Amino acid sequence: MEITEVRIILHQERKLKGFANVTFDDMFVVRGIKIIEGSKGFFISMPSRKRPDGTYHDVAHPVNNDARRLLESTILAAYEEELKSHSEVY
């Protein structure tokens, strides 16, 4: 499976820096992946739902660490590019 498109929506809050919509094989999209700035740098948070007991569970997520690293590095690279293009507008 190949990541064929990443769209970034910038959002400037204290920790939430944006959202990513990722398309796989030009056939399947996952929307609402959060880009978070934590104390150790940037990371992604997969879309989730709140359970009746107040906990959250991911709606979609990578099934192993290699897939997570690939998804995270691709999204964060696209985020950096979006920041660059956004700053060049002003």
User: Domain 3-89: which CATH class?
Assistant: alpha beta
Q: What average pLDDT does this structure show over 66-82?
A: 97
Parse the chain into domains and list their residue ranges. 3-89
pLDDT digits (tens, 9 = 90+) for 10-31: 998 899 999 999 999 999 999 9
Q: What average pLDDT does this structure show over 21-46?
A: 97
pLDDT exceeds cutoff 60 at 89: no
**Cα torsion for 55, 60, 65, 67, to the nearest 10°?**
-160
